[in-house]
Structure 1
């Protein structure tokens, strides 16, 4: 593995282009585009204010910058740097912005979710969509880019509107059987739309494009319900993470539970490999109680395999605080549909890895610190994670490895992103970023 030098960045606003050729990042009001191979600056743009959001168009030809505080969106062209575009929402304000799948329309959401505006870069036309709901996510595009589903709130009821992205015509509008819709998600094959209700009521519904409800699922009543949802890449499975610290897998034929994965505090399963990170602190000279002032040292670490019964570190949530740190907040399938990871919020140092084919757990990672970011490699069955120190951790079926990021300054990795082809990882700290390039012989 090879590491680049450190580059400045702001608020982790760093995005790979969809074609994998460029890396865009922001430093305050400047947008910097680099060549991914050499990391040399290809384009440098100056925005009107500090940027809060960036996103590439699907064809990697344009990039937008959202400046929410001023209600402005600026769009830049990579091929024609002199071409400029500015969208000003004015008094309506701006809370969100994103590209349409064709890369030629921009959708902005006004303050208080008053409306969504569709701006065309082709003919400069503008159209409005009323009553968008404040949900996460409240808008989702089908994988093929044909349809857009939008959650709406009218007369104290939840609705779904389905639009054709080519003309932005409404093709279906139907009411959902939810009390307070919390999110929507298309299946990867675009056949089914998943809708889930408020955490106060465990309810998940599956609709076809024509508005027919094909299934309703509820695991229990009178307790906090769904916290996260993830589709498998093949659309065969739907994983539901709940506040009861369990992951339930539904199949795409009957929409019934295939398996339920628990996250116990005590793990006693010989079939599960438990990797625990063990830190080795540097030795001090005789008579020293602390390292000399200005001395920078790093704590080395390695993984040990724990046999027998294992106690998983857990934190008791505070019931008096909102959004309790309990339940499955993160889960995602690997790109080859072979593995699934899950993270239980009241076990912040642990990552659970499941074999989708065997419907059982195979690995438990126990880190020395709380896991801040974890992501699957798009092209290989492996994942990377970070815990806010100067290391990046990699897991694959072959094993685990802890890699220290070499840098003269103190660099702590708070989030990471894989390159689209899986040959590099972007590591981001509070104010800096660096690239980790993976050699071809390490792809396993």
Structure 2
């Protein structure tokens, strides 16, 4: 991997590729800088907000056609929309009644949706005219779920002390159907990639995942009475035929699309990993670069390391709280991500934060474990290849590739602490985020 020069960005890590992969949006205080993704030195546009005091820009979002982009300052109750094709065009959104807490684009890229405080309403703003509509009682902490074709959106709502999923047409914004779900406190919803089903899951204390079809028929209410903890994460396989449900009990239930029952249960075990599993352990080698440097400028803590295959039987390090009476216990499957074509599933279990587990989906078995020296901060699949990028807060990026193993790519700056990763939708570029700066990594053939 070849890295670009370092570029400045805000400490909020607001770096985002456009959906067509041509541009990279970077926030620096009150300025929005649009760079070319293949040549980041080339600046396409610079948009400056009228407010130039903290908290500056707190959020950005691209429209689906990459023509518009919004910036949001929630504390100032303001959302500004900019056009890449016309630098003089601008649209400002200010809610006169309620404070804006979150903003997202509609799937077709001509409406901006804003959540108001206290979950009072969801406002739909058109950027083509002054039309404005509302949806009552949305749950702002539950992300909207757009149909894969963009014609419908599922909104989690709560009224009369019950949870509902409202299905709305994104052209007229009229309610098509309201589905009552038997949950205590709906926490998340997700539309299947084929657009035929929706899954909704409950709060942490109740293990419940509800699957409904587009007609509003509840196909399955999957519960685990023997489990005292609930669903931590939920993700669809790219084909929509499998649903991975990660629990706080450190297990992944793989539900099939015919009976919506588990075809397999994947368990994260710290001990007794089979010899057929490749366990890659990161180990230190030599002395730190800071000790070798004679210049006072380079006082980094970069440590040379490499990966070695652990001998069977292998073991995974378990996190132990320093003070069990004060520290919150880390539990559950916090990360679930399928590869682009659905052949592999990556997971991170919070009780073993230094390990990334990679499962082979067609065989429902553990394929490999990547165990790093530091806790995993980010874990992202390439959108086009069987490549998994991992960041741990060190100055290196780790790439796991199918049939090739793990590679360590050191950033040019030893002071970089990689905390975030953003893939270009084209899959040829990776944005590497550190505090106050970023660089691009270009993947070779």
TM-score normalised to structure 1 length:
0.94
| Contact 1:339-1:354 within 8 A present in 2 as well | yes
Residue 426 (structure 2) aligns with: 421
| Contact 2:25-2:34 within 8 A present in 1 as well | yes
Q: Distance in 1 between matches of 2:15 and 2:83?
A: 17
Map 1:375-390 onto structure 2 (within 5 A): 375-390=380-395
Match of 1:69 among 75, 94, 100: 75
Gaps of 5+ in 2: none
| Contact 2:199-2:212 within 8 A present in 1 as well | yes
The 3-state SS of whatever aligns with 1:90 is coil
Residue 194 (structure 2) aligns with: 189
Residue 170 (structure 1) aligns with: 175
Deviation at 1:48, TM superposition (A): 2.8
Residue 316 (structure 1) aligns with: 320
Aligned residues: 436
CA displacement 1:353-401 (0-9 Å, x = unmatched): 0000111011011100000001000000111011101100000111110
Residue 244 (structure 1) aligns with: 249
The 3-state SS of whatever aligns with 2:254 is strand
Match of 1:355 among 349, 360, 374: 360
> Are residues 1:215 and 2:215 paired?
no
Residue 199 (structure 1) aligns with: 204
Q: Distance in 1 between matches of 2:317 and 2:335?
A: 18
1:322 to 1:233, Cα distance in 2 relative to 1, 3 A:
farther
Residue 122 (structure 2) aligns with: 116
| Contact 2:289-2:303 within 8 A present in 1 as well | no
Deviation at 1:205, TM superposition (A): 0.6
Residue 327 (structure 1) aligns with: 332
Map 1:31-430 onto structure 2 (within 5 A): 31-39=32-40, 40-49=42-51, 50-137=56-143, 139-221=144-226, 223-282=228-287, 293-297=296-300, 298-316=302-320, 324-397=329-402, 398-407=404-413, 410-430=415-435
CA displacement 1:32-85 (0-9 Å, x = unmatched): 000112211110000133100001000000000011011100000000000011
| Contact 1:172-1:209 within 8 A present in 2 as well | no
Q: Distance in 1 between matches of 2:153 and 2:319?
A: 40
1:284 to 1:69, Cα distance in 2 relative to 1, 3 A:
closer
Q: Distance in 2 between matches of 1:268 and 1:31?
A: 48
The 3-state SS of whatever aligns with 2:100 is coil
Q: What's the Cα RMSD here?
A: 1.9
The 3-state SS of whatever aligns with 1:112 is helix
| Contact 2:115-2:140 within 8 A present in 1 as well | no
| Contact 1:118-1:126 within 8 A present in 2 as well | yes
Q: Distance in 2 between matches of 1:166 and 1:142?
A: 13
